[in-house]
Structure formats: C-alpha cells, structure tokens
Amino acid sequence: MPVTQELDGIILQWFNKPTDNKKRSQAKSYVKKYFEFCAASHVTPLPLTLLQLMRFATWLPRHGNINSGWKGVKNYTGAVVKYNQALGQPDPRTAEPEFWDLLRTRFKNEVQIVKTIPEKLPIRQSMVTALAVQAIDTNTPEATEDMACDSLLNFSAVRVGHVSPENSQDLRHVLAWQDQIFIPSIEDCKFVFYKIDSTKSRQITEVKPWWTAVGIVTSNPAVCPVRWAVEHYRANYAGDPTAPIFTNRKTGKPLTRSLYQSRMQDRLARAITAYLPDLTVDIRQFTGISWRKGGITALSSQAALNSLHMNQVADFADHKDIKTSRNYISDSVATRAGYSDMIAQAGNGIDLAELFTFDI
C-alpha cells in the first residue's frame, strides 16, 4: 500500500506540475491576441468555430506582428484551440480538416510575410580581441567574468542558454562550477573540459551528456579561453561547486538572458568604438546566438586548411542533424580543445571593410 501511494503521488505531481514558464507566458499572449481580434471584429469569442478560427488566422498577419509565416499563425491558433478544449469544447479543425488544410496551403501561397526582425550576425574574431583588450584595460573581477563567458561561448560552441537562462529560476541547462574541469590542473592548465547534461538537441531528462573543451590560444593570447577561465575561477569562485559559473554580480543569481544581452551589447558597442573605430554596425544584430555563429563559422573556414572533416565541425557544434553516431566520442579532449586556436586563427588578416560580406 505505501508503495502504490508513493507512485500515485509521483504521478499526481507530474500531472499537476506547472508547464514551462516561457511557454505558459507565450500561450497567454496568443490567447490575448485572439480576444483582441474578437473585440476588433465585434464577434463572440466562444464557442470557437472553424470559421472563427480561420478568420483569426487570416487577420493575424496584419495585426499580430507575424514574422514567421504560417508557423507563427499555427502557434496562435493552436493556443486558442487548447484554450477552447480546456473549457470542454472540441477542436474545430477536426470537424472539417480538409478546409483547414486548404487554408494552410492558400495562406502559404498568398500571404506575403515581411521580416521586420534584423538578422543576427556572427561575432568576428576581431571583435573578440576588442572585447578582450577592453577587459584587460578594465581589470575588474566583473570584467574578467564577462570575458571568461565571452571566450567560452566563442571557442566552444556552447549555447548561450548554458551560461544565461531565460528565467533565473530555471537552471536545467546552466553550467555550474562542478561542470568545469581544468586539465591537468588549475596551476598548469592546458585545456578546460565542460560537461553538459542536457542541450537543445536532446531531451532534458536524457542521461546522455554532451561535452566540449577549450584549449590554449597561442596565435592571439589576449582572447585565450583557458586564460580567462582560470582568471575567472581565481577571481570569482566562492567555494560552492553547484553554483552557476556566471552570475548577476549584484544579486548573486544566474545571469538572465535579457540582462546578459543588454550587457553584452553595451560592452561590444564600447569595445568597437574604442578599438575598431572604422567599423560601423547595428549593435542590435548581435545577441547570444552570435557567438555560435561566429565560432562555428570561423572553425568551418579553417576546416579545409587543417584537414578537419565537416562531420567533426557538426559534432563540435552539437548540431541536431549530425550524421556521426553519438554512441562514441570521436575526438579526444585535447583534439577538441585544439579547435580553439583554429578559431582564433580565422581572425588573422581580416579586412574590417569585408567583415560582414559572408553568409552563414
């Protein structure tokens, strides 16, 4: 009896567990947009009919800031359908699915979507150098932490969510000090190993860690990720191995995505102004994803020169569609750490005037 009660308790916890905060917030905004449509159209929101849902889908591109085409419309209409079902009503799309399929086809063919969100550009290695010089000149524990974070993202292809969660209460993906290992030692570190329990390309609960490593950069010591990781550890580690590696220094809590992005853009803008004065950029086009774009692009450009197979680049980036098996690790820690210097070398001889004339 106690065993079954315990199991029933677990099941009940699963069923009653709140949904992801971000998804719940998005769903609320989607449903709110539906009620905005109803008010503007002078129609009754419920019960939801197929015609009403089709009208809403057609109305959205002109009033919903839809930049992703049918994908965005699907998110809005899907949330409204779920809301209707929560009230005990059926999904109206199942009544006459052929009409909904026809609407989807015609929508894709007839509705022109204007992309208003600027494309996110990759950070180039000259910018990484500018950020490093700025951190050296500033010479504070916070500047050291910022550069340790920058160099990790630039040289490891680690996603920004591992250093900066969207919600300070959600630490499922966030790297802690215990996930960082200095090899062979902190005193004579040659490369730094990072163990990541879950990533975007696999289930959160799947016990199949991804890993990466960064190594010493000799071609441009100022940006060396090993140097910055060691200095950050010495300047900022407070003795708790379970604490996040990067935090909001004012609160001691994890560095949230919004705060990280504003700080990163501010630092990058100041670094470009001070050390790359001839470079003109829209700073809004650089966000957390810019590090992955920059690092992977730099490594890809060096792949042929260093006899590196593109499957190895894909594995380094933890791409979802990687062709090689994840049942074994094809690279040693030292080999993967060696990619750091290859990435840095991609910045040698870059003409600033040609900095953004490439495709990702």
Span 167-212, pLDDT tens digits: 777 777 889 999 999 999 999 999 899 988 765 544 555 556 677 8
11-33 average pLDDT score: 71
Mean pLDDT of the chain: 79
What distance separates the 2 farthest-apart alpha carbons in the chain?
74
Span 80-114, pLDDT tens digits: 999 888 888 999 999 888 999 999 898 888 887 66
Of 62 and 135, the one with more pLDDT:
135
CA distances from 208 to 196, 212, 243, 313, 359 (A): 9, 13, 22, 20, 33
Span 35-67, pLDDT tens digits: 999 999 999 998 899 999 999 998 988 776 666
DSSP state of 92: G
Q: What is the pLDDT of residue 355?
A: 34
Q: What is the pLDDT of residue 114?
A: 64
| Alpha-carbon span 263 to 249, nearest angstrom | 12
Least trusted range by pLDDT, from 15-19, 143-147, 216-220: 15-19
DSSP state of 204: T
pLDDT band at 150 (very low <50, low <70, confident <90, very high): very high
Over 90: is that where the pLDDT of 268 sits?
A: yes
Q: What is the pLDDT of residue 8?
A: 74
Exposed e or buried b per residue across 127-153, where buried means at least 16 C-beta atoms within 10 angstroms of its C-beta = bbbbbbbbbeeeeeeebbbbbbbbbbb
Of 343 and 233, the one with more pLDDT:
233
22-39 average pLDDT score: 85
pLDDT band at 146 (very low <50, low <70, confident <90, very high): very high
Share of the chain above pLDDT 70, in %: 72
| Alpha-carbon span 179 to 104, nearest angstrom | 46
| Alpha-carbon span 337 to 59, nearest angstrom | 51
- Helix 125-138, helix 257-275: angle, nearest 10: 90
Please check whether residue 154 is in contact with residue 291, taking contact to mean a CB–CB distance below 8 angstroms.
Answer: yes
Over 50: is that where the pLDDT of 324 sits?
A: no
**DSSP notation for 152-194:** HHHHH---GGGTS-SSTT--SS--BGGGEEEES-STT-SEEEE
Over 70: is that where the pLDDT of 313 sits?
A: no
Q: What is the pLDDT of residue 319?
A: 46
| Alpha-carbon span 298 to 315, nearest angstrom | 15
Of 350 and 92, the one with more pLDDT:
92
pLDDT band at 360 (very low <50, low <70, confident <90, very high): very low
Please check whether residue 225 is in contact with residue 337, taking contact to mean a CB–CB distance below 8 angstroms.
Answer: no
Q: What is the pLDDT of residue 77?
A: 92
The C-alpha angle 156, 163, 323, rounded to 5 degrees, equals: 40
Over 90: is that where the pLDDT of 326 sits?
A: no
Q: How many residues are recorded in the chain? A: 360
Span 277-304, pLDDT tens digits: 988 888 988 988 888 887 766 666 665 5
